């Protein structure tokens, strides 16, 4: 998107104007940015070293928004590897949070190299046939969730880190679909980082949208995320998809 609006001031900014603001001015406005057409939470992506111009994005747009586009159009960050594998009915996946990359950007780049870290496969007998069971990292799971809507609603079984079993439909929760029933339940939560903010201890707060949970990561986790994503600076995480396995909890001030 070329423009975004501040919900607090009512001012519409184009990307070049927003880029020309001081860091402090941009930071004060980031939480208020919305799509000019549908009012969905928006985020700013700064100019990239490869020459890509600064722009805005919003994800998800509201229904029938004229500015909504496929995820590959929002630019920025590291490429999201092409999804060309088939998930067969009956396959079971053990989710390994330590396998592969956990944060990838929204852009699908067919020229990007295949992701590293294959899956170990074994077969378990069920009834008269064999069931394919393999490990799946959060990066691979995220690519399926982002680019394959039928997979998001599927009954494919996932084995979580506590050995509980969940279908993809119930075990993978987009931030826009969080309900009270998810509190303290182990799930894979996924969505978009609107903007990050540094913490005094070297970690970061990852803002995911107005009214959505905020992700807190420490310095060591942040360094790992940047390295795995091929990014150099904290601000480069703006507009990136993420997936994290954990339990949704409430802070002392009532925030998630």
- pLDDT tens-digit map of 44-56: 988 877 677 889 9
SS3 30: helix
Residues 115 and 100: their CA atoms lie apart, in Å, by: 8
Q: Hey, what are 52's tokens?
A: 């890509």
Say what the pLDDT of residue 249 is.
77
Say what the pLDDT of residue 35 is.
93
Residues 189 and 197: their CA atoms lie apart, in Å, by: 20
Say what the pLDDT of residue 85 is.
54
Write the pLDDT tens digit of every residue in 202-255: 999 998 887 788 888 999 989 988 888 888 889 889 888 889 898 887 655 555
Low-confidence stretches of the chain (pLDDT beneath 50): 70-84, 101-128
Domain ranges of the chain: 3-69, 92-172
Contact of 241 with 191, CB cutoff 8 Å: yes
DSSP character string of 202-244: S-EEEE-STTSPPEEE-HHHHHHHHHHHT--SGGGGTTEEEEE
Contacts 24+ apart (CB under 8 A), 145-154: 145/172, 145/174, 145/190, 145/243, 146/71, 146/80, 146/106, 146/241, 147/71, 147/80, 147/83, 147/108, 148/83, 148/87, 151/87, 154/87
CA 195 vs. chain centroid, Å, equals 12
């Amino acid at each position: 998107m070329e423009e975004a609006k501040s919900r607090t001031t009512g001012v519409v900014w184009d990307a070049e104007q927003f880029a020309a603001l001081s860091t402090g001015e941009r930071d004060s406005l980031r939480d208020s940015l919305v799509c000019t057409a549908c009012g969905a939470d928006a985020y700013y992506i700064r100019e990239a070293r490869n020459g890509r111009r600064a722009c805005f994005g919003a994800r998800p747009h509201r229904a029938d928004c004229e500015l909504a586009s496929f995820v590959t159009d929002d630019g920025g960050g590291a490429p999201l590897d092409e999804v060309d594998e088939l998930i067969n009915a009956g396959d079971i996946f053990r989710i390994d949070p330590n396998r592969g990359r956990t944060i990838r950007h929204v852009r699908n780049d067919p020229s990007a190299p295949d992701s590293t870290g294959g899956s170990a496969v074994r077969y378990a007998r069920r009834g008269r046939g064999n069931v394919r069971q393999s490990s799946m990292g959060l990066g691979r799971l995220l690519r399926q969730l982002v680019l394959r809507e039928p997979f998001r609603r599927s009954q494919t079984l996932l084995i979580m880190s506590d050995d509980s079993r969940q279908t993809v439909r119930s075990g993978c929760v987009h931030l826009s679909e969080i309900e009270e029933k998810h509190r303290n339940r182990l799930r894979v939560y996924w969505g978009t980082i609107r903007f990050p903010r540094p913490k005094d201890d070297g970690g970061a707060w990852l803002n995911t949208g107005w009214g959505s949970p905020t992700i807190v990561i420490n310095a060591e986790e942040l360094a790992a995320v940047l390295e795995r994503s091929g990014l150099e600076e904290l601000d480069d995480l703006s507009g990136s998809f993420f997936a994290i396995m954990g339990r949704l909890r409430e802070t002392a001030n009532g925030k998630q």
